[in-house]
Chains A and B, each alone.
Chain A
Amino acid sequence: MRSAWTLLAAGGLTAALLAGVRGYGPIPPLGGILDPVRGAWANGREGDHPPDAAATVSGLGDSVRVVYDVRGVPHIFGRSYDDVIRALGFVVARDRLFQMEMQTRVTAGTLSEMLGEGLLEVDREQRALGLAWSADREWREQDWESPQARSATAFAGGVNAWIDRVDRRTLPVEYRLLDAWPRRWEPVHSLYLARRMGYTLTYSTGEFRRARAAELIGREATDALFGRHSPIQEPIQPGPRKTYPWFDTTPLPPPAPPGRDAPGFQGVPAVRATRFPGPPDESVWVAGRSGATDEGHEGGIGSNNWAVAPARSGSGHALLAGDPHLDLSLPSIWYEAHLVVEGELDVYGVTIPGFPGIVIGFTRDIAWSLTNTGADVLDYYLETLDDNERPARYRVDGVWRELETSVQEYRDRRGAVLAVDTLYYTHRGPLRRDTFAPLSMRWTNLDEGTPATVFGQIARARSVSEFLEAAESWGPSAQNMIVADRAGHIAIRSTGRYPYRGQGDGADLLDGTVSAGDWTGYWPIERYPMGLRPAQGYLASANQEPMDSLDDATYLGTDWPSPWRAMRINRLLRDNAAVTVDDFRRFQTDPGNERAELFVPLFIDAAAALGGAHAGEGTDLERGAALLRAWDRRYTRDNTVAVLFELAMDELESRVWDELLPPMQPDMTHPPTRVATPGEAVLWRALNDSAGIWCDDRRTLMVEPCRMIVAQSLAAAYRSAVARFGEPGGERWRWDRNRYANIWHLLRQPALSALHLPVQGGPGNLNPSSGGGTHGSSWRMVVELRDDVRAWVTYPGGQSGNPMTRRYDDRIGQWGAGELEAALFPRTIDELAANQVMARLDLAGSR
């Protein structure tokens, strides 16, 4: 008996020691987790910064003092810009080290080295995009004394000073779970982050969407459905018309017979074109979606910014609001900070952890924010290679040119080589061979950019005109940059590099065998869409087409998002001649919806015209219409009709755009999905088209007029809603039972994420909720440009990246409720009262 017990103990001891030291499979070594002193328990003790701390940071020219206010925001006071940026590197790494490494690894395509071989394909895809390749090249070739290089180097020095101090007590918990240790931060990693953001904002595959559509409906119809201009115009740049929006109701061309046209690559089967990677599917509705899903469907996401001049503000001061919508994650994409160099710089706002500067924010004189312009700054060229398997040359103008090559090794967590790829580059950019044909990419995001320099200069601007000048060299991803100053001026400019093409535009695939289609330069700054001190007294952008296409039809891009948010904010600003800070705050989560304002009357009219006239539809149609008639068209959390409207819109899309369904093939196990879906503004145009050609559902024997299709959609939606949610008005019909925000931790660990958060807003709202709830308002800011500038802010997360502290997600409740907090903006450290200070940190240079 005793020997059996001893054997059992020996087995237990061996197993426990192995579990403590090595772990099993996905389970990390438990010793480093369960140790109550140096294990993950330490993350709970070390989560909040000590009240007083000091550290040495080599490279500092002078001491830097950091005060963390009660919101966890570091106020960094130094004597030079380099010192302040170096300190920023230290404090951001102190709070967000794991996030910084993850984001750069994604861009560099080295996730499998940290997370294992399951990420190999993600790494391959990322390296093929050329983000790190172009950043490395830019870093090698740059002037080492440039502001960009100095900032990145100083920032890296600060980050590494923190990494040097990391021990087993302060090691972020994610490293423990992955059994990893932080790697050194290289200055080029800041460029990786900028490339990553450029990818998020400008990577598009619209050419493929158009090509697939053209195969089914012809080129002319594709041009109309996925056009160069929005059929509803509410431009950013104030246009010549007295009233906006205006609606294009010219009849849409009919679909051509399938297979007649395929711009750019005739004869390539559509199904093969879908091999090209597209954006993540955002159209899968959490509650389940009846319609087909496809790449490029409007997910109802985007960003907003707006400003009013003093004449339209209740306080008599200019007001500015910024509201960028991005992937929601924990830790948040943003980190709030205040940088002060006496007499030179005093800027407050948010930075992306890893980026050496403030990206959106305000100073003592100005405030600014950004929305994505959505311009077409990425073109694809169909290349001809000498050998498709082992290419060495590609042909241009009848002459073979050498391909640049780069051998890429992918490694696993232990450093073993998982795979080796050869990547190829033409003079235009990376060559993609994982598609139906070799394609090279010409993309502004791979060009030299100087984001740290630009944002460093913006932070020093004293007026709108100085801001516009400072932002002139911004290039990689066109942004609608809105700005207001203390003198009461407001302006917005869609700033970025807009290419001139030698031949045609970038809407479709280009022929790589001729140089005529190459880019020949960029628009001059004077051509950029801009509004400066507008007569209307306000400016707004929400990713809509920047210029009125009747005023200036120059090509900027295709397939613009429907301007529902732009229409809404313009309406709110037009209707209120004395807006206040609190109005701005409420606007950011306004439940009103212009999309519903336009489409609901169509459903009601169709029901009134056809109610009961068609067998089987009468009762459901009338009940559905009654619900829509009683709806205030607002997406509040407790609303019980919005779900019906969303289902009706899905039904309507699937009926109207049936021409975009590829034919069923014998080997298909599921019904085919639409190859592309036009925006809802185009849907509105199709329904109001006098010809009504697109309304007919060609899958049925009869020819349906638009009203019948609209009525059928509502009746079907009603039936679907009752089947899913029970009788109307019940709890299951509530909006917040069907749509929520889902903020995932970077490792997709549910326990470290904030999931199923009820939100106000739906597709097309100023506070939109996307399909999976993983996108949304990532930072909300309202600034009043008075003599002492004041601001109110929040974001969905917390300052700390450590999930073992309350500061990790302490702002989520406030964000969900649409509330803002006053930002503390002291001129000196002493201006902060004792009860406003959470911790202090003194940084000194090493001797």
Chain B
Amino acid sequence: MKWRGVVIVAVAAALGTVLLDWWTVPVVGAVWGLLAHRRGRPGRAAFLGATLGWAALLVWNMVVGDGWLVATRLGGVFGVGGVGFVALTLGFGSVLAGSAATVVASGKRLLR
């Protein structure tokens, strides 16, 4: 796995989320799957990249606002606790990017 790919996806996912919306994350994953379909496992890089990108945004939330309060209270609402809510957030972004990259890369290979 090339760490450069992870960093690229992380930056793209974070920027896309800041500038547009959360749905840019699967788009970033899909684009990465398209570009990197010849490499080994583009889904894994997208998964890790999205995790990294959103983790950076969560750190920003913790610094600028009371992110941990958000995590504990909403974690309580969803019944997963504060750590669980952070994991849910990161997992959501990661699954979107990773699965989109995997699906698109596989499709591209099939069409090749």
* A residues lining the B interface (CB < 8 Å): 2-3, 5-6, 9-10, 12-13, 16-17, 19-20, 27, 30-31, 33-41, 43-48, 173, 177, 749-752, 803-806
Contact = CB atoms under 8 A, between A and B. Distances in A.
Nearest to B59: A36
Contact of B74 (A27, A36, A48, A173): A173
Given A10-B103, A13-B103, A44 B96 contact: no
B96 A13 contact: yes
A87 to B, nearest CB: 26
B65 A44 contact: yes
Contact of B22 (A9, A34, A43, A47): A34
Given A46-B65, A805-B66, A17 B96 contact: yes
Chain B interface main SS type? helix
Nearest to B66: A44
In the complex, which of the residues B58, B65, B96 has the most CB atoms of chain A within 10 Å of its own CB atom?
B65
Q: Which 10 A-B pairs have the closest CB atoms?
A: A751-B76, A45-B65, A36-B57, A9-B102, A44-B65, A13-B99, A44-B70, A35-B22, A6-B106, A9-B99
Nearest to A752: B73
B35 interface: no
Contact of A804 (B26, B69, B92, B98): B69
Contact of A37 (B18, B43, B69, B88): B18
A744 to B, nearest CB: 13
Contacts of B26: 13, 16-17
Contact of A33 (B61, B74, B93, B106): B74
Given A17-B96, A33-B74, A750-B76, A804 B21 contact: no
Contacts, number: 111
Contacts of B17: 35-37
Contacts of B5: none
Contact of A36 (B61, B77, B96, B99): B61
B23 A40 contact: no
Contacts of B65: 41, 44-48, 804
A9 B92 CA distance: 13
Contacts of A41: 57-58, 61, 65, 67, 70, 89
Given A13-B26, A38-B22, A173-B74, 20 more contacts: A9-B43, A9-B98, A10-B103, A12-B98, A13-B95, A17-B26, A31-B23, A36-B54, A36-B58, A36-B60, A37-B17, A40-B74, A41-B70, A44-B65, A45-B65, A47-B65, A804-B65, A804-B70, A805-B69, A806-B69
Contacts of A27: 78
A6 to B, nearest CB: 4
Nearest to A13: B99
Size bin of chain B's contact surface: 35 or more
Nearest to B16: A37
Given A2-B106, A47-B65, A805-B66, A752 B76 contact: yes
Given A20-B22, A804-B66, A34 B99 contact: no
B54 to A, nearest CB: 6
Contacts of A3: 106
Contacts of B103: 6, 9-10, 13
Given A20-B92, A805-B69, A752 B21 contact: no
B64 interface: yes
Chain A interface main SS type? helix
B106 A44 contact: no
Nearest to A3: B106
In the complex, which of the residues A2, A10, A31, A45 has the most CB atoms of chain B within 10 Å of its own CB atom?
A45
Contacts of A12: 95, 98-99
Contacts of A45: 61, 64-65
A380 to B, nearest CB: 42
Interface in B53-112: 54, 57-58, 60-61, 64-67, 69-70, 72-78, 88-89, 92-93, 95-96, 98-100, 102-103, 106
Contacts of A177: 77
Contacts of A39: 22
Contact of A6 (B18, B72, B95, B102): B102
B89 A44 contact: no
9 contacts: A6-B106, A9-B102, A9-B106, A31-B23, A35-B21, A36-B89, A177-B77, A804-B66, A806-B66
Contacts of B92: 16, 19-20, 30, 34
A27 B78 CA distance: 9
B96 A20 contact: yes
Contacts of B67: 41, 44
A38 B25 CA distance: 14
A39 B57 CA distance: 12
A31 B27 CA distance: 14
A804 B73 contact: yes
B56 to A, nearest CB: 9
B49 to A, nearest CB: 15
A16 B100 CA distance: 10
B96 A751 contact: no
Contacts of A9: 43, 98-99, 102-103, 106
Contacts of B43: 9
B59 to A, nearest CB: 9
Nearest to B79: A751
Nearest to B67: A44
Nearest to A46: B65
Given A35-B17, A37-B57, A804-B70, A16 B95 contact: yes
A47 B73 contact: no
Contacts of B54: 36
A376 B77 CA distance: 42
A45 B64 CA distance: 6
Contacts of B58: 36, 41
Contacts of B100: 13
A3 B77 CA distance: 37
Contact of B77 (A44, A48, A749, A806): A749
A5 B102 contact: yes
Contacts of A17: 26, 96
B75 to A, nearest CB: 8
Contacts of B88: 34
A504 B102 CA distance: 82
